[in-house]
Structures are given as structure tokens and as C-alpha cells.
Amino acid sequence: MKIKYLGHSCFTIETQGYTLLFDPFISGNPLSSEIDAALVQADFILVSHAHEDHTADLVSIAKRTGAVVIAIWEIHAWLQKQGISNTHPMNIGGKRTFDFGKVTMTYAMHSSSFADGTYGGVAAGFLLAIEGKIIYYSGDTALTQEMKLLGERSTIDWAILPIGGNFTMDAVDAAEAASFLRTKNVIGMHFNTFGYIVIDEIEAKTAFDNSGASLTLMNIGEEIAI
Ligand code: NI
Ligand code: MN
């Protein structure tokens, strides 16, 4: 399968003929100017929480593509009011098998509201079992003890974690999270997009030196096969 970085916390995963899109935020991201949100394809859109830097392009891409939007109940309910009916509601701890693989909605420690003030439920992440691999997309979150439970119960091949600090974990906490998760491969997200979360990339990688994991920082538009 292939993972492509569209900037901030937005990724696509291509697997078995399906495209999964995570936290669509492209047109409002100055760093993603080379990506055209109007051309992004999706069969499934997974939304971690309601904040604008995760949902700004959600309604337009969901409408255009007809993708199934997988999100917590309150985001599903809000989407229905925006005329998006192809949604699949979940909640924390829930598991569901879709055509591309299995999704568990995981705990995240963060807030969640839409730009219009609507409550977005609690923030979440996703544990994905796809093509025999386990991928953890944490969403925006602090470092939490709950990550130990994920690491104990699953062999996580790749973890996609925030490293920008201020609103979420920084790289030091993400390195600790990698230990909790018992994973060797971390892809960083949620950094450099705005002033509050600008990081030193070399320092971020150094923070992983004793974690047993390596930190991959993808360029926007870059694709890797995993
Ligand atoms: Ni957020
Ligand atoms: Mn965010």
C-alpha cells in the first residue's frame, strides 16, 4: 500500500483499489499550495476530530467524491445537516470491518468543535488493520497511558503521530508514545503549518534517538510504499 502526505495531518492511503483520506485540510494550508483539493480522490474519509485544520475541505471532498465518511457520532450528525448522507458513525473503542480492512476508533486526549461552534464529540484516532499491517493514526492528542494498551494488544507497524507541540504532543512526547506503542516506524504530522507548531526537524529526529523508533518526515506530495 502507499501513504501520501498532503500536509498538516492530511494523508491518503491507497490499498486494494481504495483510497482512504485522513483529516482533509488542504486549501487553507499555505504549505500545501501544490495540492489541489478539488482533485483529491477518496473512497473513504476518516476524520479524527472537528477542528478546522482537520475538516476544512471535508464537506466539499465528501460531496464531490461520494466517499464514506468515518467519524465519531457527533461529526456524522453534523455532516447530515450539511447534506452529506454517506457517513458511518463510530465511537471510541468501536471496531468495524470495511471493504479495505478493520478500523478501531481509539482514544485521543484533545478537544473537538467545528468552526461554527458545533460540538464535535470527543477527539479520536484510528487503529487500522490493512493488508496484514497495523497502522495507528492518532489524530491530535497528548501523550496518553492508553497508548500502552494499544502497544500491548497490537503489533503496530506504523504510527502516524503529531510532533508539533503546543496543541498536541511534541517530538519528545511522540518518541515516548512510540515506546508505549512498541512501534519502530513513526511518521510525523501536525508540524510547521502555523507559527505555534514550527519545529526544528533535526531536533525532532534526535528526540527519537533512544526510542527504538525512527521518525519519518514526509515532504508534502511525497508518497511512500509500506
Ligand atoms: Ni485539533
Ligand atoms: Mn489540529
Low-confidence ranges of the chain (pLDDT < 70): none
Q: What is the pLDDT of residue 47?
A: 99
Q: Which residues contact 54 (CB under 8 A, 6 or more apart)?
A: 8, 9, 10, 23, 24, 25, 47, 48, 139, 140
As a residue count, the chain comes to 226
- How many domains are there within the chain? 1
pLDDT computed for residue 152 by the predictor: 98
Q: Which ligand does the CA of 190 lie closest to? A: 2
Which pTM was predicted? 0.98
pLDDT tens digits, 44-81:
999 999 999 999 999 999 999 999 999 999 999 999 99
Domain harbouring 130, CATH code:
3.60.15.10
Distance 51 CA to ligand 1 centre (A): 5
Calculate how far, in angstroms, residue 53's C-alpha sits from the geometric centre of ligand 1: 7
pLDDT of the residue at 195: 95
For residue 162, give the ligand nearest its CA. 2
Structural domain harbouring 131: 2-225
Q: Please tell me the distance from the alpha carbon of residue 88 to that of residue 30, in angstroms, as a whole number.
A: 30
Kindly identify the ligand whose nearest atom is closest to the C-alpha of 53.
Answer: 2
Specify the pLDDT at position 210.
86
- Neighbouring residues of the ion ligand 1, judged by CB less than 5 Å: 51, 140
Angle at 118 between CA 37 and CA 23, to 5 degrees: 30
| Spacing, Cα 126 to ligand 1 middle (Å) | 15
Quote the pLDDT of residue 34: 96
